[in-house]
Structure 1
Amino acid sequence: MKKLKRTLTVIIGVVVASQIYFGFLIQDFTIALSAIIFSVFLYNYTELNPIVTAIVTGVSTTLYRSVWVYCSNMDIMKTIKVTTPEIMFYATFGCLFYFLYYRNKDKDLTKFILSVFWCDFISNVVEISIRTRTNGENSNMIKALLIVACVRTLVTLIIIILMKYYKSFLVKEEHEERYRKLILLTSSFKSEIYFMNKNAAEIEDVMKKSFSAYEIVSKNNYPGELKNLTLDIAKDIHEIKKDYIRVMRGLEEMSNEKIDVEHMRIKDVISILEIYTKDYIVAKKLNIELDFKVECNFYVSQHFYLVSIIRNLIFNGIEAIDNKEKGLIELRIEKQGCEYIFIVADNGTGINEGNLDFIFNPGFSTKYDKSGSICRGIGLTLVKDLVQDIFKGSIHVESVENEGTTFTVKIPTSSFRG
């Protein structure tokens, strides 16, 4: 099925390209773009047998051209005389290509180009010989056909080189896109691991309290059922702790430490975030404008955590904008003295003054999704923890209801030195 589809592609491509031509040397002999396109197809579709493909293509092109020629002269014999020699061009081309290149085990572009040159030249000689014998003309045109073969082969080479360049460009773009996704995914991954590590300490504290409760119940004259219940609770918490730590350690081993030690420029970090955010806005059909300005440049080693901080603040703003007619997310990064200042502002619904003191608390959230379930509420908690614990910085928030919110993160320049 794949070969059939590609054969049909060759036929259609060559037939269309055959309409771009100019008359040459003798009557009814044309130099067309189709030979170039046919050569390019042979280079890319290596699984197609060139002899079979050439004959099928030659017959198809001839039939197509015959329709137009017959419509112009209404003479079937003359039409056959004019169009059928073209089949010999493709048949000769395919046979020569098969023996000169297709059967060759060591294939490269140089051998391909040389093969195409000789295939083009000899096939033209065969076709024009048939035509001169048919119409009685006799011309010495070897030099001209050599020039035609050279030109068409050169054009073929240029097209193939451009295609290779374009493919390498696409591969590069794909690699960059994968790298951006890897950075963002790893950022979320490591931030969750960081949060889990903090939770592990809390689980340890709860486990200690549960064992203390069991000891108190054991030392006093409490019912046996209560004693067994407190022991079961202590055991269950201990098992949960072990499973939690096992999962957490497994996730840590999966994280990409090799990328983690690499430094990234802050402008590259923001570029990744900007592309990701724009894609999100387009996908969600949001009417939000981004205004990102990085007024300084420096290297960051803990870039995964910084990505998590900035991304959380940006998406916190996007969620706050809600259904505004025109949303705006602003990001400013600048240096003031011995600190780098990160400012993320939005023109969203703002935060109630009574909630400002609680927005960094674990589990606190003012957002509900459309299904009615409350959000986890760890985004801003995680941001604050990362700013303070990883970068030794501080975070401040200012908000006015129905006007917007501004988060200001200050991090010492020493926190970004490798």
Structure 2
Amino acid sequence: MDNTYNKTLTKTPSIQEAEAYIRRRFLLVERNRQSSYLDVSDNQIVEFSVVVAVITNRFQLKLKEAQTLLKNTFLNPYSGKSVFRPNTENKVLNINDKWVLNTYRKPRIDPDPNLSPQPFLDHLNLAIKDDTAIEFLLDFVAYRYQHRHVNAKTGKPAHALYIYSTAQGQGKSLFTDVITEIFGSSSVKSTTTADALIKQNGYEFWERIWLLADEVRVGDRTRLYDNLKARISKLTDTVDPKNRASMEVELPAQLIMTSNHPPTFIEPDDRRFCIIEWDTGLRDDAKTDYFDEYVAWLNTYGYPAIAGLLQTRDLSNYKPMAPPPRTDAKRYAILESEEPEVDRVLRLLDRYSDVYAFDSHTIDELKLPNKTQRQILRKAGLYKERINHKGKKPTLYIRDGYGVSAGNIVESDTKEVVVPLEKNLQRLEPTL
């Protein structure tokens, strides 16, 4: 593009300000010889007329002035790539002479060390009841608050958290909500399904500060377990995305898993996971009253107070590369991991990661004990249901998060069709 102005456009202070503004906010996107624009304020691709409207509204320019200005302003070309760089608030970066989008956005919560975080600390003591686990959790989170950007020079802590509670409504998700609020939504990726993590683009979940995985079932010696074990400590990996050449990707995220079940995959010599049992001991009205008060504190002073605690916490005793503490919950989890039947089911799910409903014949081949079959399948993330299919009512064992509707496998929350049921069952034929 020509970097000179149309002779009819006078370079006034308002015009100069508008030019600087659009150079900061927009990148040029060339598609099929047509110019579009990437709005870095919300990462949306917009057309010429939209940018013109922004200029006219913000700087009170006439339509012709705005059109002429945009046509004659040189905009940096967007390379099509993005990175996560929490060490800068710049939305656009020049890396290797290419203009890339920085996906990091500053959180709305500012830390305030002058506010007392005591309600948060009291909450952890109530829910965890293990001083060693509490201190590790605080160090684990505070380290990434003080070191948001990790690279080959700094290293990435080789630690992950697994938090579980067999009782419902004890505040595990509230804890991860606090993490999201304090670090900012751009610093967090979340998932509730195992297959999302092992797909070809599963690496994308590791491109932030935190990967939050809720009720993702993992089995010992499965592909998912091997994937997690490797990426917990890796900073980069070489991947082969679909229809794209192999490339190196960054994996700065650390993993926090939450569940209503103890883990069944922890090895006796594990050096990555800190296992924490989370239960306030409160039930019914007492639980409701307590969380109403705690949430009210979070929404007033709580978030900046917790951020202030993380910002100022002394981390001299935290060893990012040393094994995490062996909590009582971890010792229990290691014993629980000896349950071979659950592991057998999880290996089946791992083998058929694109199958969402299993027929009775397939489950019978696992030779699970009749008396405990239901409990074993639930621990592995399968539930039993009879459905109407081709005039019959077969029994299916369906993955958590999915269901059957009108002859299709659908996602439970969105009801979006995943695959026709018949096609899903045909994938099991080699095992019959």
Q: Name the TM-score class by shorter chain.
A: under 0.3
More helix by share: 1
* TM-score, with structure 1 as normaliser: 0.23
Q: Identify the structure with bigger relative contact order (alpha carbons < 8 Å, sequence gap 6+).
A: 2
* TM-score, with structure 2 as normaliser: 0.23
More strand by share: 2
